[in-house]
Structure 1
Amino acid sequence: MKTIFRTGILLSFCIIALTSMTFKPKRIIFFGDSITQQGVSKNGYVTLIKKSLDSTKYEVLGAGIGGNKIYDLYLRLEDDVLNKKPDLVVIYVGINDVWHKQSSHTGTDYDKYL
């Protein structure tokens, strides 16, 4: 009888411990230029992805700044991405580099920071 009682107490503690555990959602960061910046608007792609995922399992963040080129993202990487400890990073950049390279020759070659 004591064994059954002890087993019941042990199971009760296990159930309490399991239910009090908090599960941290996976953090996804969208990192980029103006396309990513607009992605967090009401009907933007970041917002639509966020709405389609279970918020208890995923935390979706946007880190886009209009006009940024590859070098700008390189400079922001620590603060806007790495310090937030993401599980997944989606990088969407390059349009400004191509455009600036062709128009004013100030863009960055795509492979410079690989």
Structure 2
Amino acid sequence: MTSPQTLSPEDKKLLVLARATRTRIGASEGAAVRDLDGRTYAGATVDLPHLKVSAIGVCVAMAVASGSKGLEAVVLLTNGDLAEADQAALDDFGGAVVHVNP
């Protein structure tokens, strides 16, 4: 786990985006990513009866759909651990995960 005080200014921006997105809808997780071009994407867990996507899954999907070629950084706010599927997606698309205590 990383303390918010030790984050770079760019990673603090990701933290703010992840926290705001998570809080806005009361999701179990919030995430934000920065792609290799410096664009940011934020997402929260989607938990509908017929669609379930993790916060990281939302962010990666938005980045890929926007034409991104990879990730530079990822912030995940969760009470649990990084899911195996999320780690696999990050392995596919890149990006170092910064775990922050919510």
Q: Output the TM-score relative to the length of structure 2.
A: 0.34
> Higher strand proportion, which one?
2
> Higher helix proportion, which one?
1
Q: Which has the greater radius of gyration?
A: 1
